[in-house]
Amino acid sequence: MQNRIAFITGASRGIGRACALALSVAGARVVLSARQPDKLEQVAAEIRSAGRDAFVVPMDLASTDSIRAAFAKTAKEFGRIDILINNAAITKDGLALRMKQADWDAVIATNLTGAFVATQQVLLGMMRERWGRVVNITSVVAEAGNAGQANYVASKAGLIGLTKSLAQEMASRNVTVNAVAPGFIDTDMTQGLGPELKARILAAIPLERLGTPDDVAAAVRFLASEEAGYITGHVLNVNGGMYM
């Protein structure tokens, strides 16, 4: 992975931050993207303090113009993008019966459409280079479903379908497209869970613990590596066994 250019969305915290650090340690030059540049700069400073390259590009996945501008800026800086990690996502939970269409639209726009538009920006360059890695961060709920998250689950299930279709389209150019499906990971998104709900979740996980961002990042790092060159269209579960 030495000197590969890796673009990570949602890199300011949690899984995205862990992916950025893991890919940097593996030798990639990382491009950090999210909506909050101040938090991105903190992650970049952490990477630079270890003597490695980090480039910050603010981007809002809900805006096609913002996505195109961010990738154009990255292309101007580096000339190419070898690895894309589609990690950024939002939630707007609620029962389907009462879900506002605006909440449905916002989640689909960011989590699915945003990832698709971001991927479009890198495919031509990867085809030209005849090498590329796209890793989409989906979720265990995309496979198992989850009450109160119809919009989020649909967006993450859509990512799995997108992964498999793109894998077939891009394979002849040596570009792999895979997905990682985390279970319940100890991030900001899960730290607000009440003790009773957390106990129920842990009871459903054979490994009896929440995952860590580093658990997910290790899977992402592998799928983005040279060693994973014969794997494409795959969904790698990182869920402690809660869904098999």
- 62-100 pLDDT, tens digit each: 999 999 999 999 999 999 999 999 999 999 999 999 999
Q: Is the pLDDT of residue 193 over 80?
A: no
Count: domains in the chain = 1
- Predicted pLDDT at 189: 67
CA distance 163 to 154: 14
Considering the domain boundaries, does residue 43 fall inside one? yes
- Predicted pLDDT at 188: 76
Q: Is the pLDDT of residue 53 over 70?
A: yes
Rounded average pLDDT over 216-227: 98
Query: Which of 55, 71, 104, 152 is flagged as catalytic?
Result: 152
Residue 82, both tokens: 């070898």
The residues, any chain, with a CB within 8 Å of residue 212's CB and separated by 6 or more, are: 18, 185, 186
Considering the domain boundaries, does residue 16 fall inside one? yes
Range of the domain at 82: 5-238
Rounded average pLDDT over 208-233: 97
Considering the domain boundaries, does residue 91 fall inside one? yes
Decide: 226 and 3 in contact? Cβ < 8 Å: no
Here the CATH number for the domain that contains residue 133 is 3.40.50.720
- What is the Cβ-side half-sphere exposure of residue 65, based on CA atoms within 13 angstroms? 0
Considering the domain boundaries, does residue 243 fall inside one? no
Considering the domain boundaries, does residue 130 fall inside one? yes
CA distance 59 to 171: 28
Considering the domain boundaries, does residue 76 fall inside one? yes
Considering the domain boundaries, does residue 244 fall inside one? no
152 is an active site residue: yes
Considering the domain boundaries, does residue 86 fall inside one? yes
Question: At CB < 8 A and 24+ separation, what contacts does 42-51 make?
Answer: 42/12, 43/11, 43/12, 43/17, 46/21, 47/20, 47/21, 50/24, 50/25
Higher pLDDT, residue 197 or 153: 153
CA distance 192 to 81: 35
Give, in degrees to the nearest 5, the angle at Cα 169 between 162 and 134. 55
**Beta bridge pairs of residue 176:** 133
- Predicted pLDDT at 195: 85
Q: Indicate yes or no: pTM above 0.95.
A: yes
